Structure formats: structure tokens, C-alpha cells
């Protein structure tokens, strides 16, 4: 009898550990092409307030329409203004170390940027907001900082995720927001949230920032479970055999990992007491350097990372609905 029980236990362990990853079908070629487009030299690093930043936003709006997103209150984009002082170039970045001369030629004046957005309506009036920033560092010392991983990768993923869910209705509304001015203090995300109607119906922010570059072990992190442990179960049900999907970078008491809670646009939602999940990779050798180009991303890793994020959104959508009902 003991031998039979032992064999049954072994079978159960093998069965559970060999659960097949869910098949997620996306247009990988289109995903990569959109990243290549946004990180092209013609966008000159997509600096906040630059003509190339506007060009990127117009490209994003057209891609949102092509993905089937509907306008929000009749619009796909909003402009906003901000006053940047030279001293802010350094003071605005307590978390990430950045080049200090990005805005050395910008006087104390009001400049204009903008966000792009669209929605897929769900079965309830509750909303999940999926964000990624499209701005980067522009041109520094005559070198173009293309920002392929940071964050053309997140924006390209938005298009692919929207197309995936276009014909797969979710319980929640899915709002896709390509926000500006992350590199100067998440001004675009802040403006978006402050001007979003029915803000009280937002149940989750999913933020994508740097998801296409893994130098060594192919690691994608989901960050936020320290603050929102109830989200762990649906994420643990995400399966992949091609990359490592890990949790962490959210515990302020963990001295072995950087705390990413305030490292990108999700911090705006966190400060507004809206739960978030941030998907990203650790800083790599090309982070905030002119070498962050399409040539240095990891194509296979990026494709699988987007599939993992899609699985995560599906699971979180169902989990949050069940918890609320």
C-alpha cells in the first residue's frame, strides 16, 4: 500500500509540474517591427516636447486605432504642459541615475507633451489601465539615445496586447495609455490619472517598462506583490518554459534587490492607492545609453515576455472579477 501511495504522489507531482503553458497566439513579426520603428534614428530618442516625440505619439494613435481601440470621450490623445527648470534635471531623479545634461539647453519655460490612449470595453464598469511610456532621452552629445528597450518595447507590447484582446472580451474595461514624460518625473502618467473620468473604477494598473532585453538569464520580473499579495495566486498560474518569470523588486526591506515601487509610471497609481503590477527587467549594460538600440534587444525573450504579460492580464482580470463578486 505504501508503494502505491508513493507512486500516486510521484504521479501527482509530475503532473502538476508538467502543466503545459497556455498557447498565446500573437503576430511576433509585427511586434518586432513596431519596436524597430519606434527606436529608429528618425525619432531621435523621442525626447519629451520634441517634434519627434509628437511624431511618435501620432504613430501610436494610428496603431491604437488599427488595434481596434475605441476613443475615450471621443478622443485618442491629450496634450499637457509642464515647466522644467534646469535644476530639476537632476532633482527629479532620486531613484534612477540619469545623464545630467539631457535638458541643459532647456530654459525655465513651459513646454508641451501629450498622452495617447484608447479602450476596449469589458463586461463591467471596472477598469484595468495598462500603461507604457514612449518618451526617452533624445540626443545627448550628438548621440541618439534610441530607447529600444526603454521603452519602445513597452509601447510595442501595448499594440500587440490590444490586438490579442480585441476579440476576447474581458470582465474589466482595458484602457491602454501611452504616456509621455516618464523620464522627467512621470508627468504624463500623473496628468492621465488626474484627468481620467471614473477614476474610482480603476482596480489595477499594469505598467510595462523595459521588457525586451535580458543579458544573461532570461528574467522577467513582476513587481508589486509585496504591496498586493492577493494578486499572487493568478500570477503563479502563469506558465512559461522559455523564460524565467519571477516576482520581486518591491520589498523596501530587501537589501539584495532594488525596490522598483517608485521606478516608473506605476508610482503614480501607487500613490493614489490603486494596485499595480509592474513588468520589467533589471538594469542592463545598455540602460540609458546610446547603445539601447534594436540590435541589442533579445527578440525571442521579448516575444515570450509579451505572451507572459498577456497571460497575466487574463488571469488578473478573472481573479479581480471573482474577488469582487
Instruction: Label each residue of the chain as H, E or C.
Output: CHHHHHHHHHHHHHHHHCCCCCCCCCCHHHHHHHHHHHCCHHHHHHECCCHHHHHHHHHHHHHHHHCCCECECCECEEEEEEEECCCHHHHCCCCCCCCCCCCCCCCCEEEEEEEEEEEECCCCCCEEEEEEECCECEEECCEEECCHHHHHHHHHHHHHHHHHHHCCCCCCEEEEEEECCHHHCCHHHHHHHHCCCCHHHEEEEEEECCCCCCCCCCEEEEECCCCCHHHHHHHHCCCCCCCEEEECCCCCCCCCCCCCCCCCCHHHHHHCCCCEEEEECCCCCCCCCCCCCHHHCCHHHHHHHHHHHHHHHHHHHHHHHHHHC
Q: Is the pLDDT of residue 9 over 50?
A: no
Between 308 and 7, the more confident residue is 308
CA 63, 284, 266, 82: dihedral to nearest 10 degrees? -70
Contact 249, 259 (CB under 8 A): yes
Contact 59, 43 (CB under 8 A): no
Phi, psi (rounded to 5 degrees) for 244: -95, 120
pTM of the model as a whole: 0.89
Q: What is the pLDDT of residue 100?
A: 40
Rounded to the nearest 5 degrees, what angle is found at the Cα of 115, between the Cα atoms of 111 and 121?
165
Q: Is the pLDDT of residue 103 over 60?
A: no
Mean pLDDT of 109-138: 95
Q: Is the pLDDT of residue 132 over 50?
A: yes
pLDDT tens-place string over residues 162-199: 999 999 999 999 999 999 999 999 999 999 999 999 99
At residue 83 the predicted structure's pLDDT band, cuts being 50, 70 and 90, is confident
Q: How is domain 24-324 classified at the architecture level of CATH?
A: 3-Layer(aba) Sandwich (3.40)
Q: Is the pLDDT of residue 50 over 60?
A: yes
Q: What is the pLDDT of residue 15?
A: 39
Parallel/antiparallel/unpaired status of strands 173-179 and 244-247 = unpaired
Residue the block writes with cell 533579445? 298
Domains in the chain: boundaries: 24-324
Q: What is the pLDDT of residue 48?
A: 94
At residue 11 the predicted structure's pLDDT band, cuts being 50, 70 and 90, is very low
What does the block give as the cell for 23?
498557447
Q: Percent of the chain, pLDDT > 70?
A: 86
pLDDT tens-place string over residues 191-238: 999 999 999 999 999 999 999 999 888 999 999 999 999 999 999 999
At residue 19 the predicted structure's pLDDT band, cuts being 50, 70 and 90, is low
Amino acid at each position: 500500500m505504501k508503494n502505491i501511495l508513493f507512486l500516486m504522489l510521484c504521479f501527482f507531482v509530475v503532473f502538476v509540474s508538467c502543466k503545459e503553458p497556455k498557447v498565446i497566439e500573437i503576430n511576433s513579426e509585427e511586434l518586432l517591427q513596431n519596436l524597430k520603428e519606434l527606436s529608429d534614428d528618425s525619432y531621435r530618442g523621442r525626447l519629451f516636447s520634441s517634434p519627434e516625440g509628437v511624431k511618435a505619439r501620432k504613430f501610436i494613435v494610428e496603431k491604437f486605432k488599427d488595434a481596434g481601440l475605441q476613443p475615450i470621450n471621443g478622443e485618442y490623445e491629450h496634450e499637457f504642459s509642464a515647466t522644467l527648470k534646469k535644476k530639476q534635471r537632476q532633482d527629479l531623479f532620486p531613484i534612477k541615475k540619469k545623464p545630467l545634461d539631457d535638458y541643459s539647453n532647456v530654459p525655465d519655460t513651459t513646454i508641451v507633451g501629450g498622452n495617447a490612449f484608447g479602450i476596449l470595453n469589458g463586461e463591467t464598469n471596472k477598469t484595468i489601465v495598462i500603461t507604457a511610456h514612449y518618451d526617452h532621452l533624445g540626443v545627448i552629445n550628438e548621440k541618439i539615445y534610441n530607447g529600444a528597450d526603454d521603452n519602445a518595447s513597452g509601447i510595442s507590447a501595448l499594440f500587440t496586447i490590444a490586438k490579442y484582446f480585441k476579440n476576447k472580451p474581458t470582465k474589466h474595461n482595458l484602457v491602454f495609455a501611452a504616456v509621455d514624460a516618464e523620464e522627467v518625473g512621470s508627468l504624463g502618467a500623473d496628468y492621465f490619472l488626474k484627468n481620467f473620468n471614473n477614476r474610482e473604477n480603476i482596480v489595477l494598473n499594469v505598467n510595462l517598462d523595459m521588457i525586451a532585453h535580458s543579458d544573461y538569464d532570461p528574467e522577467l520580473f513582476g513587481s508589486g506583490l509585496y504591496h498586493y499579495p492577493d494578486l499572487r495566486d493568478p500570477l503563479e498560474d502563469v506558465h512559461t518554459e522559455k523564460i524565467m518569470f519571477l516576482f520581486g523588486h518591491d520589498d523596501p526591506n530587501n537589501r539584495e534587490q532594488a525596490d522598483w515601487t517608485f521606478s516608473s509610471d506605476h508610482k503614480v497609481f501607487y500613490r493614489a492607492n490603486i494596485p499595480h503590477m509592474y513588468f520589467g527587467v533589471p538594469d542592463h549594460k545598455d540602460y540609458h545609453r546610446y547603445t539601447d538600440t534594436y540590435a541589442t534587444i533579445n527578440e525571442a525573450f521579448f516575444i515570450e515576455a509579451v505572451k507572459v504579460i498577456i497571460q497575466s492580464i487574463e488571469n488578473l482580470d478573472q481573479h479581480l472579477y471573482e474577488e469582487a463578486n
